[in-house]
Amino acid sequence: MLLPCLGIDSDRFWSGFESIINNFTSRNNELLSIRDDLQSQIDTWHRERKDEAFDASAYKQFLKEIGYLLEEGADFAVETANVDEEIFMQAGPQLVVPVKNARFALNASNARWGSLYDALYGTDVISEDDGAERTGGYNPARGEKVIAFAKAFLDDACPLQSGSHSGATSYSIKEGELCISVGDEVTRLIDSAQFRGYQGNPASPFTVLLANNKLHVEIQIDRHSDVGKNDASGVKDIVMEA
């Protein structure tokens, strides 16, 4: 079902996949066998010396002798075509998981997105001064600092023509453009191309998608949520693509 949506011919895809399996399975098995042999030799080396003081120099020499460590070669450069932007242009997590484990694969797919509010609240990016300690429950004073930091980030990453995201009272979409109400004024992004989409009613979306440095920022809006009901624009979270 997915391939037609991507404009990829099914027969060509599966033929290519079969070719990869046929061409590389035997070589991959050879490499796995070499890895097992190296690991076995390393395990034996450690077991035979378990009662001795660790000798880093001798260990390094041993690793060279079995081919685990190689001499550094001359500098070189490579060129690779047909590589996805997520690998060669975008910085972010690149997790390797067994595709047959659905939960692992799903977690890996979602790993590139995370809550900025959660990340700030739980780390020392936000100081614990002035009553903003990380307590067992939710600390409103710390929450205010988190929101102020996050809105300042939006001002830096996706600045407005006038005003600040911290003063926004609503986000809406008119004629394909993102409009932000700040006080009695309606302003827009300095770079309108940073607006990439929305979910919900254009007059009152529940998600606004922005982009900066080829990565996306999702403003989540819910005026009935615990966080959103205390925010002038109803923002409950800012979710970052990493």
- Residue 108 maps to a domain: no
pLDDT in tens, 102-148: 998 888 878 888 999 999 999 999 999 999 999 878 899 999 999 99
CA distance 35 to 13: 31
Q: Where are the alpha helices (DSSP H) in the chain?
A: 2-5, 10-48, 56-65, 85-88, 102-110, 116-121, 140-157
Greater confidence (26 vs 86) lies with 26
CA distance 168 to 42: 61
**pLDDT recorded at residue 108:** 82
120 is written with which tokens? 């700030």
Residue whose structure tokens are 């191309």: 193
pLDDT in tens, 81-98: 888 877 777 776 677 888
Q: Quick check: 62 pLDDT over 80? A: yes
24 is written with which tokens? 């590389």
> DSSP state, 136?
S
- Residue 145 maps to a domain: yes
- Residue 6 maps to a domain: no
- Residue 154 maps to a domain: yes
Contacts of 136 (CB under 8 A, 6+ apart): none
**pLDDT recorded at residue 6:** 85
**pLDDT recorded at residue 93:** 67
- Residue 68 maps to a domain: no
The CA–CA distances, whole Å, from 57 to 42, 47, 50, 53, 137 equal 15, 17, 16, 12, 51
Q: Report the share of the chain in percent with pLDDT over 90.
A: 75
CA distance 224 to 20: 51
- Residue 215 maps to a domain: yes
Domain that holds residue 233: 114-241
**pLDDT recorded at residue 57:** 96
Q: How many domains does the chain have?
A: 1
Task: Write the CATH number for 223.
Answer: 2.170.170.11
CA distance 181 to 233: 9
- Residue 53 maps to a domain: no
CA distance 85 to 214: 9
- Average of per-residue pLDDT across 229-238: 96
Greater confidence (134 vs 38) lies with 38
Mean pLDDT in the chain? 93
240 is written with which tokens? 């970052």
Q: 39: how many CB neighbours lie within 10 A of its CB?
A: 11
Residue whose structure tokens are 């011919």: 9
CA distance 145 to 226: 16
**pLDDT recorded at residue 48:** 96
**pLDDT recorded at residue 97:** 87
Contacts of 33 (CB under 8 A, 6+ apart): none
> Which residue, 185, 165, 186, 168, is CA-closest to 177?
186
pLDDT in tens, 138-183: 899 999 999 999 999 999 999 999 999 999 999 999 999 999 999 9
CA distance 20 to 115: 38
CA distance 211 to 89: 14
- Residue 76 maps to a domain: no
Read off the pLDDT band of 79 (50, 70, 90). Answer: confident
